[in-house]
Amino acid sequence: MTRLQALDPKETTGKSKELFDAVQAKLGMVPNMMRTMGNSPAVLEGYLGLSEALGKGSLGGKLGELLAVTVAESNVCNYCLSAHSFIGEKLVGIDTDSIQAARDGNHANPKIDAALKFAKSLIEKNGRVSSEDVETVKAAGYSDGEVGEIVANVALNIFTNYFNNTANTDIDFPLVEVAG
C-alpha cells in the first residue's frame, strides 16, 4: 500500500498541474512517481530540472539508463528498477543482457563497465571514493566533467530510489524485482 498519495493530474491545480501537463505532453502519461512528487511542486520541479539537465550531458541516454539500473538494484528500489528496465529496453534500445548485467554493476564494454563500477563504489562508500576509484574511471576514458555527470546521475537516482521507497509508489511499469 502506498504511503504518499499520487495526485490525479486531472484534478490538480497550480504549479503541479503545469508540471504534469508538461510531462504528459512529453511522455504521453504522468508516471506515478511524478504524480506523487507533485504533492510538492518544488520536489517535482527539482527532479525534472536535474533530469533534463543530465539528459543534455555528454554521457548519453543509454549509459544514464544503465546507471539508473545499477543504482536501483543497489538501493533495493523495485519502482526504479522496473521503470528503467522498461525505458532502457523499449525507449533507448538497450539489450536485455546488458540491463541484467547492469543490475550487478557490470557491462561487456570496458568503458561502460568502469562507469557502472564507479557508481557502485559511490553508493557503497557513501560518496567517499578514493583517488584510485577516480583514477580508474578516468583511465577508462572519462573526462573530469563526465565523472561529475556520473556522480550527478547516481545522486539523482538515489533521490528517486529513496523517494519511491518512502512513498511505496505503485509501480506502473512491467514489474522487475530486485534480486534477493
> Has residue 5 been placed in a domain?
no
Contact predicate 120/74, CB 8 Å: yes
Regarding whether 162 and 82 lie in a shared domain, the answer is yes
pLDDT of residue 140: 98
pLDDT tens per residue, the chain (180 residues)? Answer: 999 999 999 999 999 999 999 999 999 999 999 999 999 999 999 999 999 999 999 999 999 999 999 999 999 999 999 999 999 999 999 999 999 999 999 999 999 999 999 999 999 999 999 999 999 999 999 999 999 999 999 999 999 999 999 999 999 999 999 997
Regarding whether 93 and 152 lie in a shared domain, the answer is yes
Regarding whether 102 and 129 lie in a shared domain, the answer is yes
> What range does the domain containing 108 cover?
61-167
> Has residue 1 been placed in a domain?
no
> Has residue 173 been placed in a domain?
no
Number of domains in the chain: 2
Regarding whether 74 and 40 lie in a shared domain, the answer is no
79 vs 172: CA distance, rounded Å: 8
CA nearest 154: which of 79, 88, 93, 75? 75
> Has residue 152 been placed in a domain?
yes
Contact predicate 115/150, CB 8 Å: yes
Provide the greatest CA pair distance for the chain: 52
| Cell numbers placing 6 | 499520487
pLDDT of residue 160: 98
| C-alpha to C-alpha distances, 94 to 85, 101, 109, nearest whole angstrom | 9, 11, 13
> Has residue 172 been placed in a domain?
no
12 vs 158: CA distance, rounded Å: 27
Domain with residue 72: its CATH number is: 1.20.1290.10
Helix axes 131-139, 144-167, angle to 10 degrees: 110
